Amino acid sequence: MAALPDPTASLTGAGRAIFEDILARRAAKGVHHLGPYIPLLNHPELAKLIEQLGWYYKYESKLPRDIYQFVVLILAKRSKVEFVWEDHVAAARAAGLPEAVTQMVAQDKRAFPAPFDLVDRITDCAFAFQSIPQPLQDSAIAAFGIEGLLEIVTLCGFYSMMAMVNGCFDVALPAPAPHRGT
């Protein structure tokens, strides 16, 4: 296994404060695992900055939540990093991403309904590091604004980075919560 050590028990000073802040921010939103932040906390300042950007995307961005989650699932499928898919598929459903669209992504089918077809074409350009054709840019700006278009493109980069951290350092999926039957 290529996992980095879990530094959380030995963090002190500013590193400890960053760790506790990340824990508190995530817990306030109901997220009780650190996932890729465990290896990232070997470099606390970097972890802090990455978490702040992730927080923005997840909780403050201009994109509709279903579009945000669609971009993440597209990246998860393309990267083949299971952690990203498993960490986001339930959130995608909760955000209103249609189940049919989720299944199309899972099955690598590419005939998405609007507006997901538009977003998929933008992600194709982003992942290929190619210019987005003007008509496609114009359609995206009409649908999501310039800020939304920028967020779609940069989300591709952000979640590519997160997939790299998860894949390169064998970040384990969080254990499922114990089933509490009625």
pLDDT score for 173: 81
99-142: pLDDT as tens digits: 999 999 999 998 999 999 999 999 999 999 999 999 999 999 99
The count of other CB atoms within 10 Å of the CB of residue 40 is 23
> Does residue 176 register a pLDDT over 70?
no
pLDDT score for 172: 86
Residue 27's contacts (CB-CB under 8 Å, 6 or more residues apart) are none
The per-residue b/e assignment along 55-79, b for 16 or more CB within 10 angstroms, e otherwise, is eebbeebebbbbbbbbbbbbbbbbb
For the chain, the structural domain boundaries read 12-60, 65-168
Residue closest to 167 by CA, chosen among 103, 109, 85: 85
Q: What is the DSSP letter of 43?
A: S
pLDDT score for 179: 43
pTM over 0.85: yes
pLDDT score for 1: 58
As a whole number of angstroms, the distance between CA 15 and CA 21 comes to 10
As a whole number of angstroms, the distance between CA 90 and CA 72 comes to 12
55-83: pLDDT as tens digits: 999 999 999 999 999 999 999 999 998 88
Q: How confident is the model at residue 182 (pLDDT cuts 50, 70, 90)?
A: very low
